[in-house]
Each structure stands twice: as C-alpha cells, then as structure tokens.
Amino acid sequence: MREVAVVATALHQVPALTDTTEVQLMVPLLNAAREAVGLTQADIGFTCSGSSDFLAGQAFSFVQTLDAVGAFPPISESHVEMDGAFALYEAWVKLQIGEVDTALVFSYGKSSPGSLRDVLALQLDPYFLAPLWPPAEAIAALQARLLLEVGIVGAEELAEIAVRSQRNAVGNPNAVRSSREVTVADLMAEAPIADPLRPSDLAAESDGGCAVVLAAGDRARELCDRPAWIRGIDHRIDAHGLGTRDLTLAPSAALAASLACTAAGLEVDSLDLAELHSPTTSQEAILVRAFGLGGSTEVNPSGGALAGNTLMAAGLMRIAEAAGRIIDGRADRALAHATSGPCLQQNLVCVMAGD
C-alpha cells in the first residue's frame, strides 16, 4: 500500500448557518485547507466530496457546491452521496493507484432548513418502515432500550458519556454543545425525549463543513512537517433490516476496526485517542465495546458528534479532529470512525499515526 497522509484540515460547525449558503461556507474552508500546505486547486490531483440531496432539499445539490472549489480549468473530481469520510476513502483509493499525489476531500451539511428527524426516516426500508415515519431518535431509542434491558450498559454510563462529551467540547470552537459544569446527576434528571434517550443522549444538530487535504509519500513530507499517516482504513456494512440484526452490537464497526488495525500493525490499546462518530451516547457505548477501547485511549477529545453532528460531514470531521491532533503533535496514534444508516448500520474506521 502506498503511504497516504492527512496533511491539512479545516472545519467549521455552528448550530445553524443563517447568512451563508453551502457554497459560501465551503469557500473559506477549501482555501484554508489548500493554503495550509501551499497548494492551489491546480496542484490538486483529485477532488472528492460528500453530501446529501435530501438533506439539502434540492436534487443535484452538490452541483452548485462545485462553484466553491474553483473547477476551471477542469478538475478530476467525483462525489458520493455519503458522509465525507467515504469521499476520503475514495480519494485514498485514488492515491493508491499512483497517478496523483494529492487529493482534496470535503463535505458539508445544513440540516437547519429541514427537519432532520423526518429526513432520516427516508433512509429506512421504503416499503415497510419508512411509511410509518419513525423519527430518528425513536429508532436509536430502540437500540438503547435493548442495551439497557440486556444489561450491557447502564443508564449512568450513558449519562457519563454525555458529560464527557460536553466537558471535552469546552474550548472547541466547532462544538455547539459544551459545558464545564454539567454532571451525571443533571443529565439523569432530564425528561426523556425517546425513552430511554434524553436530550443530552442525542447529538446536538448542527450545520457546517469540513475540508481535508491528503498527500502521498514524499509529497506529504514536503507539504507537512508531521503528516497524519493513514496506516489502515476500511469500511463495512451490516444488514439494513432492524429486526434482522442484533442491535446491541456493531459487527461492521468491529470488522472495519480489526482490518484497519491489522493493516496499520497497531493494537487498539496503543491508540492515544479515538474520535467516534456516535450520534447517541448509546451508540458510543456500543462502539467503545466493538473497538475494544480501554482506559488508555481518550474517547472523543473534541467532544465528538454528540457536541455537534453535522449530517454528511460528522464522520469526516472525526477524521479531521483526530488527524489535527497528530499533525500538531498532541497525539501519536489515533482512530477515527464514521457511521451511516440507522443504528450504526455502516461503519468506516481510519487508523492514523504520526510516524
């Protein structure tokens, strides 16, 4: 495998973007990411983005966003209707082929104009489940209920996850929910939104975007003093039907992590940090167990997706947050995770190292 690294990141996340379009959001982020490593768009070998039409309420919504990139002279470019983490995977694959040395990856999401809980219902089985319009938090609550009933997780652990997210998020300019003082008792006193999930168990909705520059081999070393090398990256999917799988587990996440760590030649307990794209505390509990994360690995130092879940970009942001901490020397080894679909159906794991 060719050595590929994250060499630059830029992200921005707010509760709601009111005065800017997605294009205006991405222009400064794309420029910041490229400029961080002194590249122009003409220097970039391949560009790939992720976004969703249903989120935007517009068919072909990504077409307008191409205006933010500066796509003239024409560029080699593609797009997935998925979280930007999967666009990053596609770019990583492109770099493996060996014909280009740099890639620009970006994704964005603006859920504030629409109703996210209703939009996400359309991911469900179109013939049997979507017509019932179950809100996203109810679907997640089914999974959380199972976790509690089976005894895998206790209610207090869920609240602890929420507290840790809010405290870690303090000082993160891109977090939309943070608190230094919140306690487990505070959160356990909240009335549930979708029992057993309380408001603090659900990710804070946000709008925002993220841009990442990848580079291969010596090019990465030229551009960045301490690239965040992608030592392993893999993604897998589980069955769609909620009744056909054990919702207390995330086998595709475990498998992706196992394959990524094997490729990286790293054990999970050597990881300094793990940025997990967990839209609920219950899902974070599942992922921690699926990955076998122990006490020595800090989970979601950025606050994670619970502190701000920009749909279609939250996974790429986890990669950016983790990579950023390697690039600036705060960490040596990191795992970043992205998820898609109801109840952790599809999962991507990216293992990065500073050496």
Which positions from 211 through 250 interact with other proteins, judged by CB under 8 A? 234-241, 244
Q: State in angstroms the smallest separation of the CB of 333 from other proteins.
A: 23
Q: State in angstroms the smallest separation of the CB of 216 from other proteins.
A: 11
Per-residue binder mask for other proteins (CB under 8 A), 35-54, x = binder: ------x----------xxx
Chain-centre distance for alpha carbon 225: 25
Task: Kindly state whether residue 338 participates in binding other proteins, applying the rule CB under 8 A.
Answer: no
Amino acid at 351: V
Task: Kindly state whether residue 346 participates in binding other proteins, applying the rule CB under 8 A.
Answer: yes
User: Which positions ≥6 away from 4 have C-beta within 8 Å?
Assistant: 92, 95, 96, 214, 215, 216, 217, 220, 229, 230
* C-beta closer to other proteins: residue 109 or 301: 109
Chain-centre distance for alpha carbon 75: 26
* C-beta closer to other proteins: residue 131 or 329: 131
Q: How many CB atoms lie within 10 A of CB 24?
A: 12
Site residues for other proteins, 60-119, by CB under 8 A, read: 60, 62-63, 66-82, 86, 89-90, 93-94, 96-99, 113-115, 118-119
Task: Kindly state whether residue 18 participates in binding other proteins, applying the rule CB under 8 A.
Answer: yes
Task: Kindly state whether residue 179 participates in binding other proteins, applying the rule CB under 8 A.
Answer: no
Q: How many CB atoms lie within 10 A of CB 238?
A: 21
Task: Kindly state whether residue 192 participates in binding other proteins, applying the rule CB under 8 A.
Answer: no
Structure tokens at 23: 């294009």
Per DSSP, what are the bridge partners of residue 49?
79, 106
Residue 82: φ, ψ to 5°? -145, 175
Task: Kindly state whether residue 296 participates in binding other proteins, applying the rule CB under 8 A.
Answer: no
Task: Kindly state whether residue 143 participates in binding other proteins, applying the rule CB under 8 A.
Answer: no
* C-beta closer to other proteins: residue 23 or 182: 23
Q: Which residues in 30-58 are b (16+ Cβ under 10 Å) and which e?
A: bbebbebbebebeebbbbbbbbbebbbee
Q: State in angstroms the smallest separation of the CB of 290 from other proteins.
A: 14
CA atoms within 13 A on the CB side of 105: 34
Q: State in angstroms the smallest separation of the CB of 81 from other proteins.
A: 4
Q: State in angstroms the smallest separation of the CB of 27 from other proteins.
A: 5
* C-beta closer to other proteins: residue 164 or 337: 337
- The 8-class DSSP code of residue 309 comes to B
* C-beta closer to other proteins: residue 150 or 239: 239
* C-beta closer to other proteins: residue 73 or 295: 73
Chain-centre distance for alpha carbon 163: 20
**Residue 263 near residue 232, CB atoms below 8 Å:** yes
**Using CB under 8 A, which of 3, 14, 15, 31 touches other proteins?**
31
**Residue 13 near residue 312, CB atoms below 8 Å:** no
**Using CB under 8 A, which of 24, 183, 262, 296 touches other proteins?**
24
Pairing state between β 333-340 and 346-353? antiparallel
**Using CB under 8 A, which of 28, 135, 199, 292 touches other proteins?**
28
Structure tokens at 332: 């040596």
* C-beta closer to other proteins: residue 71 or 150: 71
**Residue 7 near residue 214, CB atoms below 8 Å:** yes
